[in-house]
Amino acid sequence: MRPIAEGLFTDEIPPRLIGGRDRQTGRVVFPCPPGDRFAPYPLKREGTVWSFTIQRFRPKSPPYQGPEAFEPFPVAYVELADETIVEARLTQVGLEDVKIGMAVELTQIPLDPDAADPVLIHAFKPVAEARA
Share of the chain above pLDDT 70, in %: 89
- What's the CA gap between 50 and 86, in Å, rounded? 9
Q: Per-residue pLDDT tens for 74-131?
A: 999 999 999 999 999 999 999 999 999 999 999 999 987 777 888 999 999 999 644 4
Predicted confidence band of residue 64 (pLDDT cuts 50, 70, 90): low
- What's the CA gap between 35 and 55, in Å, rounded? 33
Model pTM?
Answer: 0.88
Amino acid identity of 39?
A
Nearest CA to 84 out of 18, 10, 9, 5 is that of 18
Query: How does the average pLDDT of the chain come out, rounded?
Result: 90
